Structure 1
Amino acid sequence: MKKYIAIVGSNSKLSTNRRLLEYMKKRYKDDVEIELVEVAGLPIFKKTVEMTVPQQAKDMAEKITAADGVIIATPEYDHAIPAILSSALAWLSYGIQPLLDKPVLITGASFGNLGASRAQAQLRQILDSPEIKARVMPSSEFLLSNSLKAFNNDGFLIDETQAKWLDSLFVDFDEFIDISAQLNHTHDDDAAKMSSFSWDEGSNSGEVK
């Protein structure tokens, strides 16, 4: 059985993105093991001379490395991902590379009608950056709009059309992981380049900016 790490991209205790991931954990429990991981509690990203990474981020990195795939659920604030999620991804690329070539499925829930579509587009760009280089499943975003009304009292999606859509994406993600396992010929070279990457390259002062 595959194991996925599901990152809750919000620090809200009432996050509907967390509810979405909890729904997925219950719905697919017979097919895959899903562990939810919180970004809440992480400090805002800041470079240091020692390149110190918080223990919470290190623990997240270990779980991501050991997982077959990653699911990220993001809300949308002002057409962007939350600062806490951006900060978490920065920590996860600061001298460590747990997301390198890791298959990722992007999901998102929002209170409005757009279903976090613009935040998901931004998240895709960040995950594709040279410092992260995750392998995001193409054309696969799950956009859950009007999320406050999307779940019943048992935590299941009310709209059966949305549930079937997510089911199909989930099957595709399983196959995407299998295909991705065959596309890692440059993994070692990429890892070597990333391990020697300097965030302050070109600076002669040695000052941490």
Structure 2
Amino acid sequence: METYRIAVFVGSLRKESYNLKTAKVLMALAPDSLSLDLVRIADLPMFNEDLEDNPPQEWLDLREQIQAADGLLFLTPEYNRSVPGALKNALDIGSRPYGKNSWNGKPGAVVSVSIGNISGFGANHHLRQSLVFVNVPTMAQPEAYLGDAAALFDEAGNLTNDSTKEFLRTFMEAYGKWVATNAKQRTA
């Protein structure tokens, strides 16, 4: 069985982030066909096209991590009905320089995690809009919106809700198939 490298991007930078906790759960529940690695975006200098002639090393490292991945998994909270600035910054950096879009054609999936009842719906769909532009074919079903996240984890960061755990397992199985299907299409 082929193993696909998945780059995992967590939009929340908070140390006790529910998005980070969910990312760790997803990594543990992933099928054997996926090898997932967290990509740090917290320390990326803000995108500024004037820096492209001599880009910061952090930008180059991010682009290499994206290019080395077979697929992409995004976890986002919702800030003001959109994605956090750090995640948008990573999208911008990875899409440049013009004509060298690192994201291009890599299969993705989006999970939004929120303490609210709307479950990050706005951020999930706003991120999907950006992913369309950078040509990331994003898994449509199952959709993943986790609301009331504070009630899903114990003090140690363990997911305690069995139905949520089963849903996330199903999500990762579907994502594994999505990646495999798209990988075959990319090499055909």
TM-score, L = length of structure 1: 0.80
Give me the whole-angstrom Cα distance separating, in 2, the residues matched to 1:157 and 1:41.
28
Q: 1:58 aligns with which of 57, 60, 68?
A: 60
Contact persistence 1:4–1:33 (CA under 8 A): yes
Pairwise mapping of residues 12-161 of structure 1 onto structure 2 (< 5 A)? 12-28=14-30, 30-48=32-50, 50-95=52-97, 96-129=100-133, 132-161=134-163
> SS in structure 2 opposite 1:73?
strand
Give me the whole-angstrom Cα distance separating, in 1, the residues matched to 2:181 and 2:115.
34
Give 1:52 deviation, angstroms. Answer: 4.2
Give 1 or 2 for the bigger CA radius of gyration: 1
Greater RCO (Cα-Cα under 8 Å, separation 6 or more) = 2
Give me the whole-angstrom Cα distance separating, in 1, the residues matched to 2:178 and 2:187.
16
Deviation larger for 135-144 or 171-180:
135-144
Give me the whole-angstrom Cα distance separating, in 2, the residues matched to 1:31 and 1:149.
30
Percent of aligned pairs sharing the same letter: 27
Contact persistence 2:26–2:169 (CA under 8 A): no
How many residue pairs match? The answer is 184
TM-score, L = length of structure 2: 0.88
Which consecutive unaligned segments of at least 5 residues does structure 2 have?
A: none
